[in-house]
Structure 1
Amino acid sequence: MGMIQGIWAITATTVFAATLVQAQEVRTVSPDETIVFSILAEGANICGKLAVDGKSVIDRIPMSITIDGVEYPGSGGLNKTETRTIDRETVPVIPGISSRFREQCNETVIRFDGPVNLRVRVHNDGAAFRWESRIDRGEVTVNGEELAFEFADDYPAYYPTPEKKGYFSHQERRLGRLPISAAPIGQPTSPPVLLELDGGRKLLLTDVNVQHYPGLWIEGAEGTALKASFPPYPAKTELKGDRDLTVAERSDFLAKCPGTRSFPWRAFVVADDAGLLTSTMLHTLADPCRLDDTAWIKPGKVAWDWWNYRNITDMPFKAGINQETYKHFIDFAAANDLQYIILDEGWSEKGPDNLLHVVPALNIAELVEHGESKNVGVILWMTSAALEQNFDAAFEQFSTWGIKGIKVDFMQRDDQVMMDFCERIAIVAANHQLLVDFHGGSKPTGLQRTYPNVLTHESVLGLEQNKWSKNATPGMAVLLPFTRMVAGPMDYTPGAMDNYTEATFRAVGRNPGSQGTRCHQLAMYVVYLSPLQMLADTPTKYRRNPGCMPFLSAVPTTWDETVVLHAEVGKAVAVARRKGDTWYIGAMTDWTPRELECKLGFLGNGDFQLNSWKDGPNAATEATDTTIGESTVDASSTLTLKLAPGGGYAAIIKRSKS
Structure 2
Amino acid sequence: MGPCLMMGQHQITSPDGKLSAVVTPAEQFNISISYEGQLLIDDIASDMDIAGKGSLFGASRFKKAEVTKVNSVMEALVPTKSKEIKDEYGLLVLHYTKFDFEVRCYNNGLAFRYRTKLGSKPVEVEFEKLDFSIQPETTCYLPEEKRLISHFENYFEVLPVSDIKSGTMANLPMLFTQEDQPSISFTESNIYDYPQMFLQKGAAGFSSIFPKVVLKTKEGRRDRDEIIGEEANYIAKTSGNRAFPWRVFMISKTDKDIVSNNLVYQLADPLKLEDASWIKPGKVAWDWWNANNIDGVDFESGINTQTYKYYIDFAAHYGLEYIILDEGWSKTTTNVREPNPNIDVAELVRYGNEKGVGVILWSLWRPLDEDMDGILNQFQSWGVKGVKVDFIQRADQYVVNFYERLAQETAKRKMLVDFHGAFKPSGLRKAYPNVINYEGVKGLENDKWEDLITSEHELTIPFTRMTAGILDFTPGGLDNVHKENFMARFDRPMAMGTRAHQVALYVVYEAPLQMLSDTPSNYYRENETTSFIAKIPTTWDETVVLDAKVSDYILLARKNGDSWFVAGMNDATPKEFTLDFSFLGEGSYNVQIFRDGINSDKNARDYVLEEASVNASTKMDIKLNKSGGWVAIATKL
Identify whether the pair has TM-score above 0.5, normalized to the shorter chain. Answer: yes
Pick one of 604, 608, 615 that aligns with 2:585: 604
Against the structure 1 CA distance between its residues 30 and 382, is the aligned structure 2 distance closer, same or farther, given a 3 Å change threshold? same
Paired AA for residue 412 in structure 1: Q
Q: How does 1:372-387 map to 2 (within 5 A)?
A: 372-387=353-368
Q: Give the whole-Å Cα distance in 2 for the aligned partners of 1:214 and 1:312.
A: 43
Pick one of 264, 276, 292 that aligns with 2:245: 264
- The total of aligned residue pairs comes to 634
Q: Give the whole-Å Cα distance in 2 for the aligned partners of 1:408 and 1:479.
A: 26
Against the structure 1 CA distance between its residues 22 and 365, is the aligned structure 2 distance closer, same or farther, given a 3 Å change threshold? same
**Aligned residue in 2 for 1:3:** none
TM-score by length of 2: 0.97
**Aligned residue in 2 for 1:203:** 184
Q: For 1:140, what is the secondary structure of its paired residue? A: strand
Against the structure 1 CA distance between its residues 76 and 380, is the aligned structure 2 distance closer, same or farther, given a 3 Å change threshold? closer
1:169 is aligned to 2:150: yes
**Aligned residue in 1 for 2:493:** 512
**Aligned residue in 2 for 1:132:** 115
Shift, 1:161, TM fit:
2.3
- How big is each residue's C-alpha offset from its partner over 1:90-117, in whole Å with a ceiling of 9 and x where there is no partner? 10111111111211001111122x3122
Q: Give the whole-Å Cα distance in 2 for the aligned partners of 1:162 and 1:245.
A: 16
**Aligned residue in 2 for 1:62:** 45
Shift, 1:522, TM fit:
0.3
**Aligned residue in 2 for 1:115:** 98
Q: Give the whole-Å Cα distance in 1 for the aligned partners of 2:135 and 2:62.
A: 25
Q: Give the whole-Å Cα distance in 2 for the aligned partners of 1:184 and 1:509.
A: 35
Q: CA contact under 8 A between 1:344 and 1:380: conserved in structure 2?
A: yes
**Aligned residue in 1 for 2:266:** 284
Paired AA for residue 292 in structure 1: E
Aligned CA-pair RMSD: 1.5
**Aligned residue in 2 for 1:226:** 206
Pick one of 508, 512, 528 that aligns with 1:531: 512
**Aligned residue in 1 for 2:219:** 239
**Aligned residue in 2 for 1:79:** 63
**Aligned residue in 2 for 1:37:** 21
Q: For 1:628, what is the secondary structure of its paired residue? A: strand
Shift, 1:32, TM fit:
1.0
**Aligned residue in 2 for 1:588:** 569
Pick one of 306, 319, 339 that aligns with 2:288: 306
Q: For 1:137, what is the secondary structure of its paired residue? A: strand
Shift, 1:450, TM fit:
1.1
Q: Give the whole-Å Cα distance in 2 for the aligned partners of 1:469 and 1:350.
A: 28
Q: CA contact under 8 A between 1:499 and 1:623: conserved in structure 2?
A: yes
Paired AA for residue 77 in structure 2: V
**Aligned residue in 1 for 2:5:** 21
Q: CA contact under 8 A between 1:56 and 1:152: conserved in structure 2?
A: no
Pick one of 484, 489, 497 that aligns with 2:478: 497
Q: Give the whole-Å Cα distance in 1 for the aligned partners of 2:182 and 2:152.
A: 26
**Aligned residue in 2 for 1:274:** 256
**Aligned residue in 2 for 1:10:** none
**Aligned residue in 1 for 2:312:** 330
- How big is each residue's C-alpha offset from its partner over 1:157-211, in whole Å with a ceiling of 9 and x where there is no partner? 1111222xx1011111111111222223223221111111452421110011111
Q: For 1:386, what is the secondary structure of its paired residue? A: helix
Paired AA for residue 272 in structure 2: R
Q: CA contact under 8 A between 2:476 and 2:503: conserved in structure 1?
A: yes
Q: Give the whole-Å Cα distance in 2 for the aligned partners of 1:105 and 1:508.
A: 50
1:151 is aligned to 2:134: yes
1:315 is aligned to 2:297: yes
Pick one of 609, 628, 632 that aligns with 1:628: 609
Q: For 1:211, what is the secondary structure of its paired residue? A: coil
Paired AA for residue 92 in structure 1: A
Q: How does 1:571-582 map to 2 (within 5 A)?
A: 571-582=552-563
Shift, 1:50, TM fit:
1.4
TM-score by length of 1: 0.94
**Aligned residue in 2 for 1:448:** 429
Residue range with higher mean Cα deviation, 247-256 or 286-295: 247-256
Q: Give the whole-Å Cα distance in 1 for the aligned partners of 2:114 and 2:303.
A: 50
Q: CA contact under 8 A between 2:283 and 2:513: conserved in structure 1?
A: yes
Q: CA contact under 8 A between 1:588 and 1:648: conserved in structure 2?
A: yes
Q: CA contact under 8 A between 2:322 and 2:357: conserved in structure 1?
A: yes
Paired AA for residue 577 in structure 2: L
Residue range with higher mean Cα deviation, 296-305 or 641-650: 641-650
Residue range with higher mean Cα deviation, 118-127 or 145-154: 145-154
Q: For 1:548, what is the secondary structure of its paired residue? A: helix
Shift, 1:153, TM fit:
5.3
Shift, 1:152, TM fit:
4.8
Percent identity at matched positions?
38
Q: For 1:326, what is the secondary structure of its paired residue? A: helix
**Aligned residue in 1 for 2:631:** 650
**Aligned residue in 1 for 2:75:** 91
- How big is each residue's C-alpha offset from its partner over 1:256-290, in whole Å with a ceiling of 9 and x where there is no partner? 11110011110011112111122222211000110
Q: For 1:32, what is the secondary structure of its paired residue? A: coil
Q: Which consecutive unaligned segments of at least 5 residues does structure 1 have?
A: 1-15
Q: Give the whole-Å Cα distance in 2 for the aligned partners of 1:547 and 1:556.
A: 17
**Aligned residue in 1 for 2:536:** 555
Q: Give the whole-Å Cα distance in 1 for the aligned partners of 2:88 and 2:478.
A: 43
Q: Give the whole-Å Cα distance in 2 for the aligned partners of 1:332 and 1:308.
A: 15
Q: Give the whole-Å Cα distance in 1 for the aligned partners of 2:135 and 2:28.
A: 20
Q: CA contact under 8 A between 2:47 and 2:57: conserved in structure 1?
A: yes
Q: For 1:411, what is the secondary structure of its paired residue? A: coil
Q: Give the whole-Å Cα distance in 2 for the aligned partners of 1:614 and 1:370.
A: 37
Q: For 1:348, what is the secondary structure of its paired residue? A: coil
1:461 is aligned to 2:445: no
Q: Give the whole-Å Cα distance in 1 for the aligned partners of 2:179 and 2:534.
A: 43
Q: Give the whole-Å Cα distance in 2 for the aligned partners of 1:228 and 1:383.
A: 29
Q: CA contact under 8 A between 1:180 and 1:226: conserved in structure 2?
A: no
Shift, 1:246, TM fit:
2.3
**Aligned residue in 2 for 1:436:** 417
Q: Give the whole-Å Cα distance in 2 for the aligned partners of 1:202 and 1:62.
A: 20
Shift, 1:77, TM fit:
5.4
Q: For 1:601, what is the secondary structure of its paired residue? A: helix
Q: For 2:583, what is the secondary structure of its paired residue? A: coil
Pick one of 201, 207, 213 that aligns with 2:194: 213
Shift, 1:20, TM fit:
9.9
Q: For 1:449, what is the secondary structure of its paired residue? A: helix
Q: For 1:64, what is the secondary structure of its paired residue? A: strand
Pick one of 309, 323, 326 that aligns with 1:341: 323
Q: CA contact under 8 A between 2:327 and 2:333: conserved in structure 1?
A: no
Shift, 1:234, TM fit:
0.9
Q: Give the whole-Å Cα distance in 1 for the aligned partners of 2:636 and 2:77.
A: 27
1:190 is aligned to 2:171: yes
Shift, 1:88, TM fit:
0.6
- How big is each residue's C-alpha offset from its partner over 1:404-423, in whole Å with a ceiling of 9 and x where there is no partner? 00000000111101101111
